[in-house]
Amino acid sequence: MTGGAVNVSLIFSKCPMHITPLLGISADALNALLDDAFGTDRHARTAYLLRKGMAAIEHLSFAILDDGELLASIQCWPVRVGKANLILVGPVAVASNRQNEGLGTQLMQLMLKVATPQDAPMVMIGDPEYYGRFGFSSDDTSGWTLPGPWEPRRLLLRNNNKVVLPTHGLLGPAD
């Protein structure tokens, strides 16, 4: 999926919106959304260390726009545990004044729908109570470590193709 809007139509709160590849969104608009959703201190979070120096995976990264205004985004990144490739999902960001409208859910569903069988298993740092509905769990991540602080119950994996992954190792950016 490259260029142009994804053929998805959304209606929330009687407001027409559309999803588009994140590639077409300005860095300033994306950073403003991320600051709004996660705070200006977000760069100190462990997830930023995991994806440091990596470019987002274009075919899995999207934005929701309403009349040109960026309301939500999802980004995915290449990472590794040991020598095994993974996809780091997140951040899933929704503007603070538009949360609890299902925008993050729509982005997660679309990202999972367009993922290909060739894509690596997915990992994220998130709430298992929320992301469990998308097939993520901490069941197989207890032996993994991260380059910063994290809660082990929040290191989640989605490995639908049952790829053999290391049981122990440091998660970090892909080379």
Is 113 among the domain residues? yes
3-state helix, strand and coil shares in percent for the chain, rounded to the nearest 5: 30, 30, 40
Q: Could you tell me the two tokens for 32?
A: 């403003």
Is 27 among the domain residues? yes
Domain CATH number, residue 37: 3.40.630.30
State the average pLDDT for the chain. 91
Is 4 among the domain residues? no
What mean pLDDT comes out for the span 136-165?
96
Is 147 among the domain residues? yes
What mean pLDDT comes out for the span 54-69?
96
The structural domain count of the chain equals 1
> What pLDDT digit, counting tens, does each position of 110-120 carry?
999 999 999 99
Position 175 scores a pLDDT of: 76
> What pLDDT digit, counting tens, does each position of 77-132 carry?
999 999 999 999 999 999 999 999 999 999 999 999 999 999 999 999 999 999 99
Is 91 among the domain residues? yes
Q: What is the DSSP string of 81-126?
A: ETTEEEEEEEEEEE-GGGTTSSHHHHHHHHHHHH--TTSPPEEEES
Query: Residue 22 is part of which domain span?
Result: 9-173
What mean pLDDT comes out for the span 150-170?
96
Using alpha carbons, list the distances in angstroms from residue 170 to 76, 153, 174: 19, 16, 11
User: Parallel, antiparallel, or unpaired for β 169-173 and 144-145?
Assistant: parallel
> What pLDDT digit, counting tens, does each position of 13-48 carry?
445 789 999 999 999 999 999 999 999 989 889 998
| pLDDT at position 167 over 90 | yes
Is 97 among the domain residues? yes
Is 3 among the domain residues? no
Phi/psi of residue 37, each to 5°?
-75, -35
